[in-house]
Amino acid sequence: TQEAALMAIDANTILLLTSMMLMVAMLRPTGAFEYTAVAIARFSANDPRRLLVYLSLAVSLISMVLDNVTTLIVFAPLTVLIARILQINPLPYLMSEAILSNVGGASTLVGDPPNIMIGSAGGISFNAFLAHMGPPIAAVWLCTVLLLLLMFHKDLGPRRDAIRTQQFDLQNAIKDPRSLWRVLFALGLVVTLFFSHHHMGIFPAFAALLGLAVALLLMRPKPEVLFGEINWSVLIFFIGLFVIVGGVEASGLLGVLGTSLAQLASEPGQLLLTGLVLMWVAALMSAVIDNIP
């Protein structure tokens, strides 16, 4: 029925995604991403290995709070420009950013859309998600960086000639300082509410909506420009996915699959095997199709 289809839509996921998309849409024009990339390039211009580590760290940290796709859309062309100025191969830096943005996003409840779905379905708080995912993600991040440094050691050798770092102008990187501080204030409020939402008894989506409301009051952006930055295809896809899953659940198919898996896991020594099979199937499918389905 129409009522059942509407009830199947997870409003927490949709509102959280929409709120964070709008926050990113207000942050992008301020030049915050450009300033971060230029500052790293200026600090690490004469050490390609340090440049890779710091760019990867910046992308990972930003992806913990903001959408990693948007982060890469901004950082990738900046990385190519920096590599061109420094006369180095941009491939190691682009690959590290692509890989480690996903690694960083996996560590928090809001870092990736699948995390939001898992947290919403399981009632997992932001702190609990970070406490369980943070340590293994930190280990994976470190191992990945070391592996990338080893793989691209020929491209990341020490420079013979020093680069004049003055060509990386930090002052012109920030396009709108007043708007930047306003958005950062609202974003800081959102992060604070994420850490405390479980104790306050509010959903993560409500925390994001409060921060978004503050940002809108401070910024007063043009609605047509702001809504044009929303990735509507992702939101519509999620709504359709929730409706389809709700229909499958109503048909009883999910119950049958769940019962079969529960019976398999209840057998002696099969719980670990069942978990590993589910993880590997999800990993292999995500290598071919998007990880959201």
pLDDT digits (tens, 9 = 90+) for 236-288: 888 888 888 778 777 777 677 777 767 766 777 677 777 777 777 777 777 66
User: pTM of the prediction?
Assistant: 0.75
Q: Does 181 reside within a domain?
A: yes
When pLDDT is averaged across residues 218-231 and rounded to a whole number, the result is: 81
Q: Does 241 reside within a domain?
A: no
Q: Does 274 reside within a domain?
A: no
Secondary structure string (H, E, C) spanning 57-79:
HHHHHHHCCCCHHHHHHHHHHHH
Secondary structure string (H, E, C) spanning 233-254:
HHHHHHHHHHHHHHHHHHHCHH
Q: Which among 12, 23, 21, 22 has a CA at the least distance from the CA of 206?
A: 12
Secondary structure string (H, E, C) spanning 17-31:
HHHHHHHHHHHHHHC
Q: How far is CA 83 from CA 22, 36, 44, 78, 278, in A?
A: 30, 15, 12, 9, 40
Q: Does 269 reside within a domain?
A: no
Pairwise CA distance, residues 28 & 208, whole Å: 17
Residue type at 171 in one-letter notation: Q
Confidence class for position 231, pLDDT limits 50, 70, 90: confident
Q: Does 20 reside within a domain?
A: yes
Q: Does 242 reside within a domain?
A: no
Q: Which domain holds residue 28?
A: 10-231
Q: Does 97 reside within a domain?
A: yes
Pairwise CA distance, residues 238 & 117, whole Å: 10
User: What pLDDT digit, counting tens, does each position of 120-146 carry?
Assistant: 777 888 888 888 888 999 999 999 999
Task: Tally the domains of the chain.
Answer: 1
| Residues above pLDDT 70, as percent of the chain | 90
Is residue 293 pLDDT above 80, yes or no? no
User: What pLDDT digit, counting tens, does each position of 197-209 carry?
Assistant: 777 777 888 888 8
